[in-house]
Each structure stands twice: as C-alpha cells, then as structure tokens.
Amino acid sequence: MKAQDFLTVRDMSQEEILATFDLALDMKADRMKYADALKGQSLAMIFEKPSLRTRTTFDIGIQQLGGYSLYLSPAEINLGKRESVYDVAKNLERMVQGIMIRTFAHQIVIDMAEFASIPIINGLTDYSHPCQAMADFLTIKEYKGDFKGRKLCYVGDGNNVAHSLMFTGARLGVDVTVACPPGYEPNLIAFQHAVEDAKATGARIEVVHDAAEGVKNADAVYTDVWASMGQEAEAAERRRIFLPYQVNEDLMARAKSDAIFMHCLPAHRGDEVTDGVIDAPNSVVFPEAENRLHAQKAIMYQLMKK
C-alpha cells in the first residue's frame, strides 16, 4: 500500500486491493508464519461507537501479528469535547505505532490522518466502512473465485456500508446495485465517486428502488440493519418503509441460483433478513465476519511493518 493511512477503499488501487487479499489469504492459511511480523508494535483503538467484530478482530489481529492493542473508550477521550482531535493525534503518535478509530463523522478520521505521523485505520464512520468492504470482497473471492462479470446487490439503506461496497466494486470491476426506498439512496458524492472510478474497470454502479429488479442475476445479495447506530429514534418509521426490502426466501430466489447471502452484522432477524435466508447453506455471514480478522491483519501489516 502506497498510502500511509487506510481511510477509504478509494485510497487503494486495484492492484493493491488484490495484493492485500492475497496476503490476507496467506495469513489465514498459516497464522504462525506472521506471528512476529509486528513484534513490539502497538495499536491504539479509539471507539466512539461500540462493536463486537471490529474490537475483537483488531484486538486479536494485532496480537496474532506479535503486537498489542490499547482500547480507548469515549470515557477516555470524548473526541472534540474532552480533547481535540489534534491533541489526541499528537499525544498518541508519540506512544503507539498505529491508530484504529471507529467514530461518527468521517472528518474526524481525515483530521486524525492529517495530524498524526503514524498510520490511521478507519474502523467505521458514518460515511465509510472500508474494513468491512475489504472482508466482504475477500469473501466473494473465496466463494466465487474471481470478480470478472460478478454482480453484488445491496438491499436496504444507502449507508456507509453501501458506499464502501460501491467503492470496492468500482475498483475491482464488480457490478454493484443498491436497491433502496426513495429518499434513502447513498450519498450523492459517494455514488458519483464510485461511478467515476468504475470507468476504469467497466463496472456498473447503479441505484434502483425495486428490490426484485435489483437482485436479478446477482451473485451476492447483501443487506444491513435498517436503522444504524444513532438512528434509533427512527427505527419504527424505518421498519415501515423498509419492510418491502426485507431479504427473504422469495427475494433470494430472484437472484442467481448459486447466489451467496451476505450481511455485515449484527443482524436483526425478522426485519432486514429472515432466519430462512441467514441460516441457509448459501449464507456466508460467519465466514464473512471471520474475514474481518484476516483482511485487517493484512492492512495492519502493510501500514505498520517497519
């Protein structure tokens, strides 16, 4: 990776993404081969939002590479209130070798990367979830073998996950369709970025409002919760609006017969997905979750290796 930081998949070229996947798969096949790769390196993990998978995979990942982690909750930092982003960056750059941050505003990770002289990894913002998308497309590579001619349909809210799926699909030449209710489309600038990036690979990036049409010929069908963290007050209204976009057996039947089902988790069973879909043989949600570990190890290795 040429960039010092990992803030969005758009920071990487197609070649860098594919090389990261190869590294991640090698790490997955032989964990001990990289057991001392980041020996003595430390990763500060800043959490403004809670998480099962992000915390576990970064914490275990850095340890499996020979390093160690430090968990920092909102109580310790409270970015922009107790301490400024600048002050936090300038303190941590003298104490650790990398920072992973999971927060709300994307500008926070941009500022952190500007102010800190050590690598910054975006563990999630309201705009982008790049580590998740890297794990997702690593999973597609494992189950489908290649990317050429593939189609992923994301059904649901045009959120940070949808943005990162579009960015990654555009880089890799994978068609990405976002099927969402009117008024819940992806951020327009994010969509335009993806469409522009897709010109180099021939990928088709589109937004539709008909879920049945969207999943047609899809190799992978993907969904996420209807109300993300910070949107709890909208949950009841969103459930009413998104119910026609539930990924159930009927909707999956409209995709390719060998289509896989994906979800970034946590899942609200009975809302965005039925038990019959998430527990079906073609569901890859748990291997997908595991791949967060391997994809992030590859990212940390490339950014933090001295």
Domain segments of the chain as ranges: 9-129+290-304, 132-288
Q: Cis link prior to 186 (omega < 30° from 0)?
A: no
Are 14 and 277 in contact by the 8 Å Cβ rule? The answer is no
Supply 179's token pair.
Answer: 């099927």
Mean pLDDT of the chain: 96
pLDDT given at position 228: 78
* pLDDT average, residue stretch 148-168: 97
Cα 92 to Cα 116: distance, rounded to the nearest angstrom:
8
CB atoms within 10 A of CB 275: 11
Percent of the chain with pLDDT over 90: 92
Kindly indicate the confidence band of residue 25, based on its pLDDT and cuts at 50, 70 and 90. very high
pLDDT band at 89, cuts 50/70/90?
very high
Which residues, other chains included, contact 227 with Cβ-Cβ below 8 Å and sequence gap of 6+?
234, 235, 238, 239
pLDDT band for 233, please (50, 70, 90 cuts): confident
Which residues are annotated as catalytic? Answer: 102, 129, 132, 224, 264, 292
Q: Which fold has domain 9-129+290-304?
A: Rossmann fold (3.40.50)
Say if residue 229's pLDDT is above 80.
no
Work out whether the CA dihedral 151, 153, 159, 160 comes out positive or negative. negative
Residue 235 token pair? 């949950």
Whether 156 and 272 have beta carbons less than 8 Å apart is answered as yes
Q: Which two tokens stand for residue 258?
A: 């060998």
The reply to whether domains 9-129+290-304 and 132-288 share a CATH topology is yes
Identity of the residue numbered 100: M
The distance of Cα 268 from the centroid of its chain, to the nearest Å, equals 18
CATH class, domain 132-288, is alpha beta
> pLDDT tens, 39-86?
999 999 999 998 999 999 999 999 999 999 999 998 888 777 788 999
